[in-house]
Amino acid sequence: MKGETGWEPGAPMDRERGTARPRGRSQIAGQRRGLVAGVVLLVGVGLIAASRPAGDLGTPEGRARVLVEVLDAALEPLAAEVYARPLDPLTGAPGPAQRLGRTPLASAALEPGAWRILLLAGEGYAHEFTRQLAVDAPLELRTVLREPHDPTEGMVWIAGGVLAVRDGPTQRLPLEGREVEIEPFWLETCEVSNRMYRAFLDATGHAPPQHWSALDASHDELPVVGVSHSDAARYAEWRGRRLPGLAEWIWAARGREQRLYPWPAADPELLRGNCGRPFRERTLATYLSQAGPVVSEPEARTPEGLYHMFGNVAELLETVYALPADDGFETRTELRFRAASAWEAGAGVRAATAGAGGRDLRDAYDAVGTERSSVCMATGFRCALSAWP
């Protein structure tokens, strides 16, 4: 049944999965101008007031309580439809949407795990948040939505399809041997730069990276590094976006033809882009000498126009890390996947053997923690945006 927003959960929203074409940016921006500027959003998962006994809440055992309230700039309640989509713990692919109700929402409950929570407030306006829900881990999110703007500025439309990873046992990805349906989505053309991240810091007062005082205007177009997964997620939400999932990132890098390298030419012997550099300790000095501007090396762009999907800096992803185990994979909720190829990626490629070169050129993945104890001077990120609704 359709809600008051006119969108039916699971409906393709004028797009056929895998072959749909994006709406024009001006059309999307125009549909979102009904947003009240300066809306304040509070999303609480398991958030319980100290004065209220847990037994009074009526949350089913083993489920996470979900509280959602939307306020306008005058701190008055603003009605919004709330939906949630579960994320597959191994592939990161979203499941069917569940309507939780209208705000203020205080009685919904969801199974523990990774979810995308979608709010629809005003005609055509949507804002999404990715959260790891747990029964015993209270969470409060407070954010101020930006004024109406083009939500897909600086992004590339990635058509959907079916990702089939067949890399063999070397990487042991949880995607190996599976066929994962990828919904159409938007992905930022380039990694987030220091200039872009500074705008976020100035607007929000968020704590800067530890090395921030060592940078100047000459470093503005380098990719931001030394940020935690939590920092990157906050930036993405400030932009009305999120981090890409593991399957989405691989699909965008490899394309519909599912190549083992991101650039257009079908020659795995030829390294392209800011890669192939000798490995050095990942310090500030190494970053300043080895990282390239986020818009550079145009010959290494993907056919869709994405920069640096191989090399330059590693990129943080939203998907919970899955550690290979004897009977499959074990998820580690304190860790996230990282597309780990930075400027030294492909340094060991031997041009004499095309087949071996192709395998060596594939992107690599590892785990990273979510907090600042896990920051790296060779790791940055780019943002994604779901195409629904």
Pair of tokens at residue 32: 């979102």
- The Cα-based distances of 205 to 97, 198, 208 in angstroms read 34, 10, 9
Residue 81: per-residue pLDDT: 86
**d(Cα 307, Cα 131) in Å, to the nearest integer?**
28
- 355 shares a domain with 317: yes
Q: What is the mean pLDDT of residues 26-41?
A: 45
- Does residue 196 have a pLDDT over 60? yes
More confident residue, 127 or 154: 154
Report residue 274's pLDDT band, with 50, 70 and 90 as the boundaries.
very high
- The Cα-based distances of 234 to 137, 318, 381 in angstroms read 19, 12, 12
Q: What is the CATH classification number for the domain harbouring 80?
A: 2.60.40
- 343 shares a domain with 310: yes
More confident residue, 121 or 157: 157
- 166 shares a domain with 70: no
The answer as to whether 63 is a domain residue is yes
Domain that holds residue 73: 25-144
- 132 shares a domain with 167: no
More confident residue, 56 or 131: 131
Report residue 137's pLDDT band, with 50, 70 and 90 as the boundaries.
low
More confident residue, 362 or 32: 362
Highest mean pLDDT among 52-66, 132-146, 198-212, 329-343: 198-212
The answer as to whether 4 is a domain residue is no
Report residue 40's pLDDT band, with 50, 70 and 90 as the boundaries.
low
- The Cα-based distances of 260 to 168, 188, 296, 298 in angstroms read 12, 21, 21, 19
Q: What is the mean pLDDT of residues 183-194?
A: 97
Which range among 55-59, 71-75, 77-81, 106-110 shows the weakest confidence by mean pLDDT? Answer: 55-59
- 84 shares a domain with 35: yes
- 182 shares a domain with 75: no
- 261 shares a domain with 298: yes
Average pLDDT, the chain: 78
Q: What is the CA radius of gyration of the chain?
A: 21
Q: Residues 61-103: pLDDT tens digits?
A: 778 888 888 776 667 777 888 899 999 988 888 999 999 988 8
Q: Residues 377-386: pLDDT tens digits?
A: 999 999 999 9
Pair of tokens at residue 115: 């979810």
- 291 shares a domain with 210: yes
The answer as to whether 345 is a domain residue is yes
- Does residue 303 have a pLDDT over 80? yes
More confident residue, 333 or 274: 274
**d(Cα 282, Cα 379) in Å, to the nearest integer?**
10
Q: What is the mean pLDDT of residues 320-340?
A: 85
Q: Which of 17, 176, 192, 43 is nearest to 115 (CA)?
A: 43
- 262 shares a domain with 189: yes
The answer as to whether 2 is a domain residue is no
Q: What is the CATH classification number for the domain harbouring 327?
A: 3.90.1580.10
Residue 27: per-residue pLDDT: 47
- 287 shares a domain with 317: yes
The answer as to whether 11 is a domain residue is no
The answer as to whether 221 is a domain residue is yes
| Total domains, the chain | 2
The answer as to whether 3 is a domain residue is no
The answer as to whether 150 is a domain residue is no
- Does residue 258 have a pLDDT over 70? yes
- 164 shares a domain with 127: no
Strand partners, 131: 115
- 201 shares a domain with 139: no
